Structure 1
Amino acid sequence: MKKAEEIGLIDKGEYQLKDYNVPITRNEAVKIAVRACEYLGENAPANYQGYKDYIKDYNSIPAKYKDYVLKGTAIGLIDGYDDSTFRGNNNLTRAEGATIIVRIFDKSERVDIMDKVKGDDDFIEPKLYVRQTTEWPHFFNYFEIIVDNYMDYLDKNYTFKTECISHPELNTRLVKDIFKGDYFEVDQIRKYTIESSKLEFQIPMGKIYELYSFRLDLNPKTKKPYELKDGEKLLYKVTVSNGKTTKTYEVEAEFRNKKFLVE
């Protein structure tokens, strides 16, 4: 228990010796499991909040567990019941506990809740995450938004459109023509509207967006260089469509200033 507190699996003083023989609930179990994954360096997909639409009793989950239930569901550590409820106050069974432990370490054993809730057109839910490139000066971008399960889409007809909704000025750039010296306008939304068949040819594979260097670009509104503060939050909307169904997802990213190999 002391070691679990030290590495952050449980909060200090959350459990006492007298609790050893007391069953824990599904809410408590998923909290510990998610923290274990984070301790091992794995985070939930950036769009994990969208999973609340698939948990019927989400509103009845105590506030302190809601994020953990969503993250655990998105990662695939735990699933709900056949009626799409989570029932977090139920005691965790031994079988459920053993299954969660296996899924923490073996991704092939994880469950995808979307398999239970797919509609008639079998819409594939994206697992989106943000990859920061701050430590890589040879990458001429600040971060990338990636579809982690891009292989599920390769033989399908899907379109991914990404736009910044918190800073709409980033959706259009004035790019300098290095030969002529003047500027021309580039529509970033159009640029980052990508067909699923092309995901495997992206670098890295599955990339649907990148916030690349502002070195030569101007803000079209001010005609001046972009000004973002280190640590500033950016909110993006990713629209995914397969021709029959269209869904939108919000992804939050953080701007971290960096020095590039070539300035």
Structure 2
Amino acid sequence: MPFINVEKEFSPDGYMTSTEFVHLLKSAFELFDVDIGGIEEIIGNMGIELGEDFLKRYDVALILSNLLELKSPESLTISYKDLEDIYDEYLEYVEDVSRFGLMLGFADGYFRGEQNITKAESATVILRVIRYFERLEISQNKTENQAIIQSRNTIANNEFPDYPFYIENPKKYITYINEDTIILKGKYIGESDTFRISDKPGNPIIISDNEFEIERRLIEDKWDEIQFYCPSSKKTILRYVLRDIITPEIEADETSIPEDNSYISSWGQDEYPIYVKIIDKAKTGSVSISGIDEEEFRIRLNDKEGKIIGKPSIISGGSNTVIPDVIKSMTKGFKKESLDKLPDGNYKLEISFADKAGNKDKLIRDFTFDRTPPIVEMRFPEEGDAVSGNIMILGKVYDENISEYRLYIKGEDEDGKLLLSEGETNIDGILGEIDTTEFGNGKWILIIEGTDKAENVKAQEITININNSGYNVNGNIELQHIGVKEGVEVYLKSKDIDISTVTDEKGNFDFQVPEGEYTLEVIKKGYLAFEKVFYVDEDFNQNIGAILFPGDLNGDGIIDEEDLKKISEYFSISSGDKGWNPDYDFNDDGIINIFDIVITALNINNPVIF
């Protein structure tokens, strides 16, 4: 610093007295013709007595904040590790000098305001004050006789119109880059035969051409100060370049996003169910970062057609303590009220982010929002049915995102339940089988429960009456042209008993009933019903066989031309088509065609076996 006149050896680790510091500060002000007027008196009014006492770092913050009238936005936070220990009366001043980069604390993250300021630290502070003035245009306010500081336009090429040169690259006062080199580019329009570019005194690059384009190597995570200097005009332009190659990260502990390929049924009660916090961290031992680029931090939620859903909100964002516009962290998310309006479906969450040096990354999560529970139906037996022997449980469990189904039985007055069957796919047919002889006579509860991948649960319960007293009645049912068929309904009735079951996969059925006269009836849609009357006692030993004939589509007990007309209405309809009815596919080939019509026609008035 050419304005410092030191008559004795400069000891950098020695402490700075108040008189010495004020002398240096006045010299810096005089360099830029800033007339504070009575600086000693002003500082004295701050409660700081000039003399040989050493200055504390708190005192320096107080002096700079007041003399420079530093006022920075309160939203720009600082993050010293000893922030809570800073005295309340000094906190505002520490925040001001930190936000403007005049005092930055120590490498370990502490400010240490109670500590005496050293001469080396004082020299650094004064240099930063000079650079602060270089970035600002100073004009004298004659009314108040103090400096009014106005911001320069540091972006335009003609930021210094009275200079004999201009800088094309880097254009801005501060530039961030993730490359290991930068091209210095500009034009000299003065009369001098030389122009200098330097980052260290005494080590300049001499430029003799009017236009220059020079490759400069950068140091990772370190600020590079570049001075463009014209000896003839004694004009200098400063540029600062930071090489930042560290990509911002998603802060896992402070982020809430769906797992990839997950299923969600509820957004919970949080105000922001989906939110992402991005942090920009320097390498260990470094404090230099370029910060998050707010425009490049995007969260998009797309539906399966690619349409963007909703608009994220900025939840929080902070700044670096060194440079006010450097964002160390930012959180964005979607509010619950907007997510609750989403229909069930598949969604894609896309998160992309970058820092101002161009280091970028992204994350994509596909997930399914599903609030609809599975469809659960138990068709047989029905509520209150009396059953005996071995019975099939018929029903349906369906969900587009099915996870599992389970069939249970439990006693009417019991808490525990016994698992009868389970599966992990949709099912429409036999849910399970139960040998009622393994359970006591009386009321029992059947429970079918379906769960989807979003953990939506639906259950149905029915009460059945098990009665296995007496004698066994069993048999086998076949369908003409198909053979045995599971799930055919079989009813057994007497004046005191009305029970039912369905055939198993081999077409078998059985009942357990007391002595008496019974009517056995077998019913299937589209077929003529079968009926047989018999007496059951200790001598009963029949295996009842029956063949059902297809064609009775209207269920009037006969097969005639009306049934032929009806099946013709379904001609050429295949499985999966709208209007498909499997009860009319008499040969079980997946389509209602001429063969089904012929089968119906042959059974008109005279069903035969062929």
Structure number having the greater strand percentage: 2
TM superposition score normalised by structure 1:
0.39
TM-score (normalised: structure 2): 0.18
Structure number with greater Rg is 2
